[in-house]
Chains A and B, each alone.
Chain A
């Protein structure tokens, strides 16, 4: 029973140790910090299975990690003395810096690490990979699965990312007041992508996907805990994440197949998550700025109301109008068109959808498939066929096939109806 605790403990503690040690040793020694953390867990794996898990595993891990840091410092001091000129004092006289693994220092260090890995000098892919590795304690294979890549690519990406970090000469610190908003933008983008990677990813590993979302929420929480970074956009992003996460249990059936929003069992929605989301959205509405996170969180809020009211869709349409003016994205354009259908009817939505140049996007064809259903069924089926060809994951392909089958059944039924009711 207690053995089950280990993998998660490692994941959490790894990121804490790496952050604290990077702050202590300097970000240019990130690799050393990672090695020490990994060595610590290696020691646990060698000892715990035989002697039992200690009563306080975290404390054990911290003691071992601290010892390993001291050994490392002593070794490098000896190296300095023997090889690099003998200026360092006797190894026995080294003054060890204090290794502060207090809760406060851990969260401060992780926050600084968050800003470091989200530095604009790094590509977005590098930021995501590095965040998963050093802040979420994911292994290379988990990262590869989560980001639909392979181990080699991820390994190279991380190597390059760390090199870039060293070259920028970044320090473990919060950006100063004048730079913090700009840097915060890039942190929020990364957290947003991290969450979306979990929520919309085509990876079939559901557990991993939910972990990704939870980690994104945890890291956003770090920003909220600190006064300097508790900005309205951060609170809005947190609200958005909570509203989406509330539907986790309702999104998949027991066979792991995707259940679309309309078919979800509302009883499975997590009310507590929704309440927290409302709290964060309310807190986010204190400032002047209306960010895309505010708009997306408000849209997500309306989706926590299952009933199809006019008020709901009116609001969603206007929010998408605003969101698109702020920043275009194909997903927003397609979702807006669905809202347009709900407010102004099929004909209007089809007219606007046909003007979009998104024919290589499978969601575009799913949307047109459902808009044409019942109006021009053969056209609907053509779009669903294209969507099926373009879809990448098995879950999505299965969902599209289900729609096709439903439509064919409907056509059959209505076909008979027309046959029997011919004048």
Chain B
């Protein structure tokens, strides 16, 4: 069993949806994560609020961001346990974020802390 991080990239939901719609998404996300946890495959996860985000660039230049030009910013992540990248991809396919066109879930294996990687 390996660990994979599922990184959600999507627009700032609060800019395009009503609070009611946001609440529906939130519930869907909790159900989706609950389903993974019910298989004992959930490790951890969190949302990354868009509010008050900063990007620190070369020579310490600080900007508000990373929004504006980039449409796909990271809105959250979860880490799951999976037998293979395919199983992790199967989890990712259920992510409610994907209901939005252009949104993505990036699946990356987390390096094991075993001195090899």
Which residues on A are within 8 Å of B, measured CB to CB?
Answer: 317-318, 320-322, 324-325, 328, 332-333, 336-337, 340, 344, 352, 355-357
Contact = CB atoms under 8 A, between A and B. Distances in A.
B35 interface: yes
The B interface, classified by DSSP as helix, strand, loop or mixed, is helix
Contact of B38 (A318, A322, A352): A352
Contacts of A355: 35, 39
Contacts of B39: 333, 355-357
Given A321-B34, A321-B37, A324-B37, 9 more contacts: A318-B30, A320-B34, A321-B33, A325-B33, A333-B37, A333-B39, A344-B31, A355-B35, A357-B39
B31 A317 contact: yes
10 contacts: A317-B34, A320-B34, A321-B37, A322-B30, A324-B37, A328-B37, A328-B38, A328-B42, A333-B38, A336-B38
A318 B31 CA distance: 7
B27 interface: yes
B64 interface: no
B40 interface: yes
Nearest to B30: A321
Interface string B1-42: 000000000000000000000000001001101110111101
A421 B38 CA distance: 42
Nearest to A326: B37
A324 B42 contact: yes
Interface residues of B, number: 12
Nearest to A353: B38
B31 A321 contact: yes
B42 A325 contact: yes
The A interface, classified by DSSP as helix, strand, loop or mixed, is helix
Interface of B: 27, 30-31, 33-35, 37-40, 42, 45
A312 to B, nearest CB: 15
A328 B40 contact: yes
Nearest to A325: B37
A318 B27 contact: yes
A340 B31 contact: yes
Of the listed residues A320, A325, A337, A357, the one surrounded by the most CB atoms of chain B closer than 10 A to its CB is: A325
A344 B40 CA distance: 21
A357 B34 CA distance: 16
B80 to A, nearest CB: 12
B38 A356 contact: yes
A333 B42 CA distance: 12
A321 B38 CA distance: 8
A280 B78 CA distance: 34
A236 to B, nearest CB: 20
Of the listed residues B30, B31, B38, the one surrounded by the most CB atoms of chain A closer than 10 A to its CB is: B38
Contacts of B37: 321, 324-325, 328, 333
Contact of B40 (A320, A333, A352): A333
A317 B37 CA distance: 13
Contacts of B45: 325
Nearest to A337: B38
Contacts of B34: 317, 320-321, 324-325, 336, 340
B76 to A, nearest CB: 14
B79 to A, nearest CB: 12
A420 to B, nearest CB: 41
A337 B38 CA distance: 8
Contacts of A344: 31
